[in-house]
Amino acid sequence: MDRRRGRAPGERRRGQERRPEPAQWLIQYGLNRSNLDAVHTGDRRAAAKSGRCRPATRQQARDALLQHVPACDRCRPDTALGLLEQTQSPRLAAG
């Protein structure tokens, strides 16, 4: 028995096996929970831990980027989705 958690080792293993796969895409919401602030790849740990992100499908992430929701400048979901040219802002494209 694992004294720290009060669980048997087999129970812990079963819990880890049942854990859902992490999301491949995240959409970050604003402080008011209705505005979309950014799109992230699922491996962006800082965004996932912020409490303001929700899992999204590939299509939802793509649609958000096409609707001009900003892409995270660190994890670059627009590049991962092959949308870099379509989502670049006019300032960046000119510079």
Condensed to tens digits (0 to 9), the pLDDT of residues 15-66 reads 888 887 888 999 999 998 889 999 999 998 888 888 999 999 999 999 999 9
Per-residue b/e over 5-42, b at no fewer than 16 CB within 10 Å? eeeeeeeeeeeeeeeeeebebbbbbeeeeeeebbbbbb
Q: Which of the two residues, 23 and 93, has the higher pLDDT score?
A: 23
Q: How confident is the model at residue 7 (pLDDT cuts 50, 70, 90)?
A: low
Per-residue confidence (pLDDT) for residue 13, from 0 to 100: 84
Confidence at 94, pLDDT banded by 50, 70, 90: very low
